[in-house]
Structure 1
Amino acid sequence: MPKIVDHDERRLELVDATWRIIARQGLESATMREIAMEAGFANGALKPYFPTKDTLLEFAFSHVFNRTNQRIVRVTEGKAGLEALRAFCLEVLPLDEERINEARVVVPFWQKAVSDARKADIHRESMAEWLAAIRRYLGEARTSGDVSAGVADSVLAGQLLNMLLGAQIEAALAPEGHLEFGHAAQLEGYLALLGKIPGGK
């Protein structure tokens, strides 16, 4: 009896192989042949799932984004305000090898998105989702009195998101094995400032 192929599982295996290769060797080394070898498939096995490397890169970015979101859901369950915001940020920041590898996938995707409208749309939609979550947590913290900074939450959310994305760039460009960037301390410093100035809106 022929083996039944789980196409969703195979697609996920190929995406996993893609981000591992990009993380180790960079985007240019992530050839279709290398990806197939990493996943343990024949070279032609990729075509039915991902006709081009660009489509595979899009799926790899979405996969990394979804992995991060799954972690966020777990760590923010039952939390609100600054507690939830801190937990959210700690899952996005590249604080260990796994999340640094994720950053090494995201940064090449951003490079492609500069001149690819579809990838730019994927990025914008993803960041809009994160901004909405950050603003929600800030609003909860404002209501509870934990945030009193005299700066609009929309501005604070943009600042924080840019800090998170900048941390990913720093980690992606760092030498192999470099894991400590001070990002957790920077986050705590930022959160501490949110309650320093009264009269926020």
Structure 2
Amino acid sequence: MPKIVDHDQRRLELVDATWRTIARLGIESATMREIALEAGFANGALKPYFPTKDDLLTFAFGHVFNRTNERIAEVTAGQSGLAALKSFCVEVLPLDEERINEARIVIPFWQKAINDPNKARIHRESMQQWLAAICQHLAEARQSGAVTTAVADSVLAGQLLNFLLGAQIAAALAPEGQMELGLKGQLEGFLALLES
């Protein structure tokens, strides 16, 4: 009787193997062969799922983005305003090994997106989704009186998103084992400025 393969599960296993391999070897040395070995598959087993490393990287970016959004939805459920905004940001910030490894997937994707219009579109649409959520939380906070700064919400949202994305780079480039980069304190400082 032929073995039944769960193709969605196999794709996720390959994505997990991809970021472990990238974290260990870097994007250029993370060959399809290395990724297959990390996942425990034969080299040719990747081709039906991801014909190229580029395809795998695009899928991995989408997976990381969706996984982050699932965490955000969990922690912001029942919250609004500044509480929801802070919870949102904490889930995006690379504050633990898992999220630092996610950053190690996102950064090579950005590098490819510079010259790949399809990847650039995927990134742009993802960030528009996050900007909309940030703006919504800011509007709720302003309506409740928690945000009083004269700076427009659209400007604040852009600043906050740039901080979150920059934190990805800082965490990925930090020396091995260093996870405390002061990111939570920087977030708290930014949120405190919203009341001035």
Same fold (TM over 0.5): yes
1:24 deviates by: 2.0
1:35 Cα offset (Å): 0.8
Matches of 1:69 and 1:173, distance apart in 2: 24
Distance (Å, rounded) in 1 between the aligned partners of 2:103 and 2:12: 18
SS of corresponding position for 1:37: helix
What is aligned with 2:98? 98
2:108 aligns with 108
Residue 24 of structure 2 aligns with which residue?
24
Runs of 4+ residues over 6 Å off in structure 1: none
Q: 2:38 is paired with a residue of what secondary structure? A: helix
Aligned mates of 1:61, 1:81 — CA distance in 2? 28
Per the alignment, residue 83 of structure 1 pairs with: 83
CA-CA distance at 1:11 after TM superposition: 1.1
Q: Give the corresponding residue for 2:73.
A: 73
Partner of 1:130: 130
1:105, distance to aligned residue in structure 2 (A): 1.1
Partner of 1:177: 177
Distance 1:23 1:131 in 2: 28
TM-score (structure 1 length as normaliser)? 0.96
Aligned equivalents of 1:133, 1:116: Cα separation in 2: 26
Structure 2 letter corresponding to 1:173: L
Matched to 1:46, the amino acid is: L
Compute the displacement of 1:62 (Å).
0.9
Moved more, 20-29 or 165-174: 20-29
RMSD between aligned alpha carbons?
A: 0.8
Amino acid aligned to 2:40: G
Contact 1:23 1:102 in 2 (8 A): no
TM-score under structure 2 length normalisation: 0.98
Partner of 2:34: 34
Identity of aligned residues (%): 76
* Whole-Å separation in 1 of the counterparts to 2:76 and 2:176: 31
Match of residue 9 from structure 1: 9
Paired positions, count: 196
Q: Which runs of 5+ in 1 are unaligned?
A: 197-201
